[in-house]
Amino acid sequence: MPPRSDEPRRDPTTGSRRGPSRAGRGGDPRTGEPGIGGISDARAYTPRGRTIRESGEERAGGREERAGQRRNPRAGRSGDPFRPALQVLDGGRAGARAGRREAAPVARAGVIRTVPTRPRWVDDDEEELAPPRRRAGGRAPRRPDRPVPRRPARKPRRPPKLAEPRRRLRLGTMLVLALFVTIGIRLVFLQAVDTPAYAGGGIDSRLTRVDLPAPRGAIVDRTGAPLARSVEARYVFADPTQVKDRATTARLLSPLLGVPASELAEKMKRRGLPGGGESQFQYLARGVDIPKAKQIEALDLAGIGTHRDERREVPGGDLAANLVGFVSQDMNGLEGLEARYDDVLQGKDGRRVYEAGQGDLDAPIPGGYSQTTPAKPGSSLVLTIDRDLQYQVQQVLGRQMAQTRGSVGAAVVLDVATGEVLAQASHPSYNAANPEPSRPTDREDAATSFVVDPGSVHKAITFGAALQEGVITPDTTLPIPNTVIMGDTTFADTHPANGRRMSLPGMMAFSSNVGTIKIADELGRDRLIDYQKRFGLGQPTGEGMPGEASGRLLPADEWSGSSYGSVPIGHSVDATPLQMAAAYATIANNGTYVQPHLIKEVISGADGKRTPAGPPVTRPVLSPANAAALRTILEAVTTVDGATGVAAAVPGYRVAGKTGTGWRLVDGEKQPGEVGSFIGMAPAEKPRYVVAVFVWSPGGEGGTVAAPAFREMMGFTLRHYRVPPSGGKAPKFEVFPR
């Protein structure tokens, strides 16, 4: 075991023991001479356990002590009275340094002192390296008179500059603030700018959209009675991919829907779609009554469902069917007024969009997104038609037409003063509530599409033009031969006058072709054409029906020699029953033409506001005096014995009118058979209503049908509107005055 540092050691040169110094570091307490220090003295000269500062201070203290000894050689001997205390405080290092310096000349063999290497960062100007201590008996120290070599001065190295903490703090703060500002700006954009996009993207999956159907407007008569209206119903549909047993499902639905089971099973077959996949929707029935739909729902059949629908209801069936028309299953107008005013009757569907839960929570979320666009119901049409009068006119026309086979008939009732169409009937007709079984020709409105050569009813226009132009007067009489040749055609009378003079009432009563041609010859072609136009021929009336025919007048440059005979008596003229009825209404209305029309007013579906139809077109044609004179002439047709229109007389009322025999034209081609007609007004002294009846029959029986049909229709009209009977009788007419 090595000896402890505080145990006495033997000097290898003398063999004596030595121990720690008591009188001073490295000194002998008995002689006062510096001695050789122990292990503690060696530690004082090694850098182990000492700081650079301590080493530096020791070297600096040593230089000062040596300088003091040179200035005062006795100071070392006398010593500082405080030295022992300082030595104690300094751990004995100062005394050791003094002892070593004093004992430097004395060398001890075998002891080697090491000097710590000066740190590289210690400045040469701050201290000098202490000369190395020599062992005893070593080389003598350098003489003081010899200069000590000094190292060349070097520029002091500065220690590496450390980072400034305050700068790092500022930089870090700025980076953190920049990060927070960036996040804040992004949040502002998300909350204020991009909110609709993100919110919409999330809410779209929770939105439920429900269509709010807009009911179609109604069509009502002048009293508000419905002719066509929409009622709520249900449609029944199938999802073929969900139907489990087609045969059983069809068998259960058949009695409720009134559709054969085989047809229903066929509709429920699976069908592929052009773009891939299978069809998941198929109508089974439309317009199903709500009670039946509830029964179907109660069956709880897989793949079968119901939904809100609309059904067009026509209470009268065939009542005014040719006027009203019908709609498709999708509530689009296809015929009649339904088609003509589809944009007015058609409503605008609304929509409700709301936020709802999923699955079992499929219900509106309280406080969630909700927006409703109300449906805008379609507007309703108020017609000038009187439902009761319309029904009666249709009944009379149907009974009279039953006498003929394959015939076509039309009847019109006009209000003289206003031009309102009070009734407009066609035969044949159809059931507008179920139009599919009917033929397209059955659905036509004969009053506006039935083009005819009006025949003798046109003579009233020729007489009126001659009166207005002064060619004739009410008292004019003319010798009437039995025939007249115009061009290459001979025109004759059915009631020959044999050259006798006839009065104007006589010519009208017996429908003299020769007398009318002679008056037209005096009138002239151009003036006759002009009055035809004034009376409304050759152009649509604009009543309101779609597809109304315009008729055609023979242009002056197309007249042949025979045209001067045919046109005045109503041939080579194309007209509709409605056009001719409007011409007679002009005579009844003191010579003023009033455009016939069907629409009285429009009722807005949104607020119920009533908007009257635009005023009808009016224009003067005859003077009141000439119109009154012409009415008197026309009275002879129903009052003179043997006249052509006696069958049209209405008991208790004076009637003015005219019979006619013409042809039916289809695409300009004359059809076999004849068109019999009668147009009249009553009461003749002050007409209120005009009724026109046209009947085409392949066998030519129309003439025997038209006048009796007029009588019934006019009689009912006068009684229906409570028109007082005529106060006097019609004047006595002389056919062949003396």
pLDDT digits (tens, 9 = 90+) for 174-214: 889 999 999 988 888 777 776 666 656 666 667 777 778 88
Cβ burial, residue 113 (10 Å; 0-12/13-18/19+): middle
Q: Are 403 and 676 spatial neighbours (Cβ–Cβ below 8 Å)?
A: no
Top mean pLDDT of 116-120, 268-272, 280-284, 629-633 is at: 629-633
| Residues 690/681, Cβ–Cβ less than 8 Å | yes
pLDDT on residue 627: 97
Which element (helix H / strand E) includes 418? none
Q: What is the pLDDT of residue 671?
A: 85
pLDDT at position 187, please? 84
Q: Would you name the residues annotated as active-site residues? A: 456
The lowest-confidence range among 101-115, 665-679, 701-715 is 101-115
- Judged against a pLDDT cut of 60, whether residue 734 lies above it is answered with yes
pLDDT value at residue 61: 55
Q: What is the mean pLDDT of residues 428-448?
A: 93
Quote the CATH superfamily of domain 210-383.
Answer: Penicillin-binding protein 2a (Domain 2) (3.90.1310.10)
Q: Where in the chain is the domain with CATH 3.40.710.10?
A: 390-430+439-600+607-720
pLDDT tens digits along 5-44? 444 444 444 444 444 444 444 444 444 444 444 444 444 4
First CA to last CA across the chain, in angstroms? Answer: 189
How much is the CA Rg of the chain, to the nearest whole Å? 65
**pLDDT computed for residue 666 by the predictor:** 80
Contact partners, residue 574, CB within 8 Å, separation at least 6? 451, 452, 453, 551, 552, 553, 665
Q: Which of 382, 385, 380 is nearest to 344 (CA)?
A: 380
* CATH number, span 390-430+439-600+607-720: 3.40.710.10
With contact defined as beta carbons under 8 Å apart, do 654 and 730 qualify? yes
d(CA 350, CA 212): 5
Distances (CA, A) of 280 to 244, 273, 296, 558, 615: 14, 10, 19, 64, 52
How far apart, in whole angstroms, are the C-alpha atoms of residue 434 and residue 21? 142
Characterise 406 by phi-psi region: left (phi > 0), alpha (psi -120 to 50), beta (else): left
Using alpha carbons, list the distances in angstroms from residue 320 to 386, 415, 600: 10, 18, 16
| Per-residue pLDDT, 158 | 73
Contacts of 105 (CB under 8 A, 6+ apart): 141
pLDDT digits (tens, 9 = 90+) for 134-165: 555 455 555 555 665 666 666 677 777 666 78
pLDDT for the residue 66 = 56
Nearest to 392 by CA among 108, 643, 709: 709
pLDDT score of 121: 46
Tokens representing 722? 């409570």
Average pLDDT over every residue of 105-121: 46
Distance between CA 683 and CA 702 in Å, rounded? 25
CA 275 vs CA 271, 350, 447: distances in Å: 12, 30, 49
Rounded Cα distance, 223 and 729, in Å: 34
The residue-averaged pLDDT of 597-613 equals: 94
Burial class (CB in 10 A: 0-12, 13-18, 19+), 565: buried
Instruction: Write down the pLDDT at residue 9.
Output: 46
Instruction: Measure the CA–CA gap between 39 and 44, rounded to whole angstroms.
Output: 9
pLDDT of residue 578: 98
| pLDDT above 70 (res 130) | no
Please compute the mean of the pLDDT values over residues 441-458 and round it to a whole number: 94
Joined tokens for residue 725:
């009977």
Domain with CATH 3.90.1310.10 in the chain: 210-383
- pLDDT at position 498 over 90: yes
